[in-house]
Amino acid sequence: MHYHRGNAYDYDRWDLDEWKSSTISKYFANLEKYLGKTATPFDVGTKGNMTLSYFKSDHFLRLPLSKMYKTAGYKPLARGKSLGYRDLLVTSWKSIRMNMARTFLTPIKERTNFHVALGTTATKILFTADKRVRGVEIMIGKYKKFIKVRKELILTGGSINNVKLLHMSGIGPKELLEYNHIPVVADLPVGKNFQMHLRVPIFVAIDKCCGQCLNCSTPDCQNDFFDFNEFYQNSWDYIMDKIGFFTHIGINDFVAYISTNQRRRDTANIGVFHTYFKRNDFYLKSFLEKRRFHPAVAASVLKYNKVRNIMLFYPTILAPVSRGEVYINSTHYLSQPVIKPNFYTDENGIDFRSMYAAVTMIVSLTDSLAMQRYKAKFLNIDIPNCRNFKFCSEYYFRCLIINLSSPTKKCGGVTRMGHSCHNSTVTDEEQKVLKVRGLRVSDVSLSPKVDSTNGLGLDALFAERLGDVLRHRWSKHYSSAYQKKKVAINVVEGEI
């Protein structure tokens, strides 16, 4: 849903000739279809398939949050810059969420040369003696089938399942494959270089009405609580007319990109996301449960929420330095692979220091004038392992970070694209798996260094670029639109 191209710095630090920010901006432009009514300060295409717009809810916290970040020296994010706050674009069309399947597959589903097999799991890639892809073995229910590959196989199983499938097919670290008695087809570091965005929740109590009517005791000031009648009305409005509360995501699309990196003050290393819960909010319980908070933490947050509205700040490490690993646990196709994220294990402690600086900065910013109008108060949540530390002391914050850090859903790096001389490289710049023939990867597992987006924007970029590469490779008369014509978008160096 959130859509962000990422920053020029994200791509330039990949250090790959074909993937410089100036080159790939054309692919982005070709993918995007901006449908917003107002002009956007960012470069965005208007002729592609991926429908983008702003939700722009008139959430009351948008202004105070902007003012809060201003006091820390941040401005609205400008073209070419990576620091600042902004409303994120979203992949939606007429208030309907547009996922990749709706965007790209639905329009072509009637094509006779296009087939989708539902409920099907690829279990193994098979190779000829000279290491060319021969086909893929699949399970449909309990039936095993073989699909022959004539030209190339493109793997898009995501950052975890790509590793599983490649390992089961004999592509991976030699020792691991031998340990699992899998014949080695190619000794490659598949599964190494695993990176994942990591975040920490900061719970802050807010009084909505104090900021708006100054006298907190008036009945008007007490009305920002969750109301089931309102909920049913909102659901009805959305289902019938696509209007109202469910047509946007509140303050969730407001994000601040900040830097806590002493050496690169001009580049964001932390993204701060925001969520808001009304007093006694029905959604908060399931929110806490889904994220598997410790029961004591969840109970404490819910207790506060009985009487206070809660604002959640989510500082997130955008470019983690720590590296983890994914590998198979057994050779059965249904077994879960092992994910060892190794959070906060980088040699110089950069990830932890970045997060510590971000958390303490946000807590101190809640004391800013803009937030104090809303009686913002950093909540002393009951974290069992931190009970012995003085609230807001250095050790308390350290403890909070260690106990409440949780991964986001954005990860990558396991089939790293890069130069063959690099010891964690799995694919070349044309997304081709090294040491075998006829196999490519096209999803976020390719990203050499996880970046500030690492989500659906990047996923679409890999697919768009591979489309161009494949047409070049297999179509005699194809000439790339990217190489010849200049797209109608004015691409400015920097923000891409």
Query: At its nearest, how many Å lie between ligand FAD and the CB of residue 300?
Result: 25
C-alpha 44/C-alpha 28 separation (Å) is: 8
By CB under 6 A, is residue 173 in contact with ligand FAD? no
Residue 455 near ligand FAD by CB under 6 A: yes
Q: What is the 3 state secondary structure string of 345-362?
A: CCCCCHHHHHHHHHHHHH
Q: Is 406 in the site for ligand FAD (CB under 6 A)?
A: no
Examine residue 121 and tell whether it contacts ligand FAD (CB under 6 A).
yes
DSSP assignment of 190-237? TT-SBEEEEE--EEEEE-HHHHHHS-TTSGGGG--B--HHHHHHHHHH
Residue 215, exposed/middle/buried by CB under 10 A (0-12, 13-18, 19+)? exposed
C-alpha–C-alpha distance, residues 172 and 207, integer Å: 54
Shortest Cβ contact with ligand FAD: which residue? 455
- The span of 168-176, 277-285, 386-394, 452-460 binding ligand FAD (CB under 6 A) equals 452-460
Q: Which is nearer to ligand FAD, 32 or 443 (CB)?
A: 443
Q: Does 2 bind ligand FAD (CB under 6 A)?
A: yes
409: contact with ligand FAD by CB under 6 A: yes
Residue type, 201: P
* Residue 425 one-letter amino acid: T
Shortest Cβ distance from residue 152 to ligand FAD (Å)? 17
The reply to whether 64 sits near ligand FAD by the rule CB under 6 A is no
- Between CA 65 and CA 366 the distance in angstroms is 9
Spatial separation of the C-alpha atoms in residues 467 and 458, rounded to whole Å? 14
d(CA 178, CA 170): 9
For residues 345 and 324, give the distance between their C-alpha atoms in angstroms, rounded to a whole number. 9
Interface residue with ligand FAD, options 36, 80, 135, 158 (CB under 6 A):
158
Give whichever of 83 and 136 is closer to ligand FAD, judged by the CB atom: 136
Handedness of CA 68, 74, 75, 76 (dihedral sign): negative
Burial call 384-420: b when 16+ CB within 10 Å, e when fewer: eebeebeeeeeebbbbbbbbbbebbebbbbbbbbbee
User: Is the CB of 206 or the CB of 328 nearer to ligand FAD?
Assistant: 328
Identify residues 22-61 at the interface with ligand FAD (CB under 6 A). none
Q: Which C-beta is closer to ligand FAD: that of 21 or that of 366?
A: 21
161 near ligand FAD, rule: CB under 6 A: yes
Region near ligand FAD per CB under 6 A, out of 117-125, 182-190, 298-306, 308-316: 117-125
- Please, what is the minimum distance in Å from the beta carbon of residue 165 to ligand FAD? 5
Rounded to a whole number of angstroms, the minimum distance from the CB of residue 123 to ligand FAD is 7
Taking Cα atoms as reference points, which of 3, 30, 24 lies closest to residue 12?
24
Q: From the list 23, 57, 156, 234, which residue makes contact with ligand FAD (rule: CB under 6 A)?
A: 156
Of 10, 32, 351, 443, the one binding ligand FAD by CB under 6 A:
443
Q: Is 148 helix (H, G, I), strand (E, B) or coil?
A: strand
Mode of pairing for the β-strands spanning 171-172 and 186-187: parallel
CB of 175 to ligand FAD, least distance (A): 24
Does residue 444 interact with ligand FAD by CB under 6 A? yes
- We find the least distance from the C-beta atom of residue 120 to ligand FAD, in angstroms, to be 6
Q: Which stretch binds ligand FAD (CB under 6 A): 44-52, 125-133, 175-183, 451-459?
A: 451-459
Q: With respect to ligand FAD, which residue has the nearer C-beta, 89 or 204?
A: 89
Q: Which of 36, 80, 135, 157 binds ligand FAD (CB under 6 A)?
A: 157
Instruction: Evaluate whether 431 touches 461 at the Cβ level (below 8 Å).
Output: no
Residues that bind ligand FAD (CB under 6 A): 1-2, 120-122, 156-159, 161, 165, 409-410, 443-445, 455-457, 459
